[in-house]
Structure 1
Amino acid sequence: MSDKPNWSVDGSDWPNRTASRFVDAAGLRWHVQVMGEGPVALLAHGTGAATHSWRDLAPLLAQRFTVVAPDLSGHGFTSTPHWQRLSLDGMSRDLSVLCNKLAISPAIAIGHSAGAAILTRMTLDGLIAPKLIVSLNGAYLPFGGPAAQFFSPLAKMMALNPLVPRLFAWRGRDPAAVHRLLKGTGSTLDAHGERLYRRLVGSPGHVAAALEMMANWDLHPLVRDLPRLTTALLLVAATRDHAIPPDVARRVRQLVPQAQLELIDGLGHLAHEEQPGRIAELIFVAAERAGVLAAQQEMSN
């Protein structure tokens, strides 16, 4: 589907626009934001989001990192591959090709929701070799029982019906509908944040890619492989997350012995958008502990 967000129109006031560039890799034209200096931090947003998700966190991280934040395959202003490539393996491979094109070797990989699964899959497959993975409300575990048997066929049916993304996009132009959608995650965003999501979910091409991604998503191999992850892993879980409850992080910590769990009260699934300063501080501390950053000495009076 070609009804993607238009950079000259929808991107005219895109957050951190001066850091944006377009790069051709893996047969796609990627929208990527690069800012800051220091060890490379690769950021991967969640399903249905884009680089706007990092609008306030990325500049904070750029104080100590070279931040590289793409719109993932099919999302935002990045072009859409064949629908079968919008899978965990396919998106991981495509993102690794982009990293090679940019000639970057991430020292830290920071993923939100499904983005955490992508970065962890890349690490397990040797496509990147970060010293630390930071999972922000990471979507690591599949639906179980009857939910899985119902959800996957339904998602495939919706993704392959060209009318469905248009219907979603039509509803996505309603501010009240988007407000309810975001509130349903347990997070509260300001008016600017809600407008940016409304811009994306009002695009049939963006919605189609998100639906195709959900239709192709299979986390069972990742769960099987998690115990062999040797990279340091910080699991940040928000107690008010209604999309990925903290129990997911607790179960992942049982599978990955070296994982550290950080519970944060009062925030939801989009915690990094609600309180970016709080999340940045957690990342800096973890990066120092993992040897990605040198510990900063406190100034004494």
Structure 2
Amino acid sequence: MGSRLSWSTDGSGWPNRQASRFVEAAGYRWHVQVLGQGPVALLAHGTGAATHSWRALMPLLAKRFTVVAPDLPGHGFTETPRAHRISLVSMARDLAALCVKLEVKPQLAVGHSAGAAILARMALDGLIAPRLIVSLNGAFLPFDGLAAFVLSPLAKALAFNPLMPWIFARRARDPAAVHRLIVNTGSTIDAQGERLYGRLVASPAHVAAAMQMMANWDLRPLVRDLQKLRCELRLIAAAKDRAVPPDVACRVRELTTNARLEIVPGYGHLMHEEAPQLTAVMIVEAAVASGIIAMQHGMSV
């Protein structure tokens, strides 16, 4: 495998491949999946992931929505922009440019981890106007205390060392290493999911983008602005999440005026992959409560 993932080889057997397309927006080429009919639901994955993370959830939501799910800049099969553009503000702008190119106006926005922060930034900046943002273990807050001083400089040092992505990718080709990474988030996912994550982290370009994203990530302006968020915010937090503990969602609820929090026992950071049916039902229920879609008998998805 080379530095970048190849759609013709690495994309073989990619989940929901029939929904994939490649689109030029914001000056580079995106991989995006579009599936279903109805109000537009924009999905934004977290750092180091890709559209594969929605593999089971996306078809369920597509029964009620037109689901738009891109690989974020530098992730998966989307090209990598210049390093300074892999930041919260720039990724929000570039994702908005993709929405313009696709001629979609999301009424629902669903973000996992860092993806939730991107969607909130887009809404705050007037780049999208959803009626509802659903945060799945959203990473809205900076690290506290010592971690803030240690992890940020470390991320920058790793991101600017051109050898580090290659070293990490080589080590991550061991399935046992990938398994440990996932288990450390508090989640247990299926074998297909682990293989797909392994495919991603074996790509130095994908790893470099994830490292650059962490190095450039500055959540302090977002935290200051959250009180200005006008759309509804549904915070779904998994009780076993080791990456973004539920207390983050509790603190975010206190910072906003239109937030509702649900803590779900038994799952970790990748809850939407562990329990896609439950996650879909929770999203649909929130969308019904927000008036985006009408209630159906049994809240089926």
**Corresponding residue for residue 268 of structure 1:** 268
Please name the residue that 2:42 is paired with: 42
Secondary structure of the residue that 2:22 maps to in structure 1? strand
Correspondence for 1:125: 125
Matched, 1:16 2:16: yes
Offset at 1:4?
1.3
1:258-289 deviations in Å (ceiling 9; x for gaps):
20101111000000000100000000000000
| Structure 2 counterpart SS, 1:208 | helix
Instruction: State whether structure 2 residue 61 is matched by structure 1 residue 75.
Output: no
- Shift of residue 298, structure 1, vs aligned partner: 4.9
Q: Report SS of the residue matched to 1:146.
A: helix
**Matches of 1:115 and 1:261, distance apart in 2:** 17
In structure 2, distance between residues paired with 1:282 and 1:122: 23
Task: Give the equivalent residue in structure 1 for 2:175.
Answer: 175
**1:227 aligned partner:** 227
Measured in 2, the distance between the counterparts of 1:15 and 1:222 equals: 32
Cα distance, 1:138 vs structure 2: 0.1
Residue 204 of structure 1 is matched in structure 2 by 204
Q: Residue type of the partner of 1:243? A: A
Q: Deviations over 1:21-54 (max 9, x none)?
A: 0000011100000000000000000000000000
Matches within 5 A, 1:38-187: 38-187=38-187
Alpha-carbon distance in structure 1 between the residues aligned to 2:165 and 2:7: 20
SS of match in other structure, 1:294? coil
Q: Distance in 1 between matches of 2:298 and 2:139?
A: 36
Find the aligned partners of 2:58 and 2:216 in 1 and give their Cα distance: 29
Letter paired with 2:231: T
Identify which range, 174-183 or 290-299, moves more after superposition.
Answer: 290-299
> d(CA) in 1 for partners of 2:27 and 2:3?
18
- Which amino acid counterpart does residue 149 of structure 1 have in structure 2? F
User: Is 1:282 equivalent to 2:278 in the alignment?
Assistant: no
Equivalent-residue separation in structure 1 for 2:17 and 2:192 (angstroms): 15
CA distance in 2, matches of 1:77, 1:298: 37
Distance 1:19 1:229 in 2: 32
Deviation track 1:170-189 (CA, whole Å, cap 9, x = no partner) reads 01100000000000000001
Give the structure 2 partner of residue 259 of structure 1: 259
Offset at 1:295? 1.4
Q: Which moved more, 1:238-247 or 1:256-265?
A: 256-265
Q: Secondary structure at the match of 1:101?
A: helix
> Is 1:295 aligned to residue 286 of structure 2?
no
Alignment identity in percent?
67
Deviation at 1:297, TM superposition (A): 3.6
- Give the letter aligned to residue 267 of structure 1: Y
TM-score by length of 2: 0.98
1:184-212 deviation per Cα after TM superposition (whole angstroms, max 9, x unaligned)? 00000111110000000000000000000
Secondary structure of 1:133 counterpart? strand
Q: Residues of 1 paired with 2:287 and 2:87: CA distance? A: 29
Counterpart amino acid of residue 276 in structure 1: P
Deviations along 1:132-191, whole A, 9 cap, x unmatched?
000000000001222111111111110011100001100110000000000000000111
* Separation in 1, partners of 2:151, 2:219: 14
Deviation >4 Å, runs of 4+: none
| SS of structure 1 residue aligned to 2:116 | helix
Deviations 1:102-145 (A, max 9, x none): 01000100000000000000000000000000000000000122
Q: Which amino acid aligns with 1:204?
A: P
The AA in structure 2 aligned to 1:146 is L
Distance 1:26 1:297, change over 3 A: same
Q: Which moved more, 1:218-227 or 1:257-266?
A: 257-266
Is it true that 1:237 corresponds to 2:243 in the alignment?
A: no
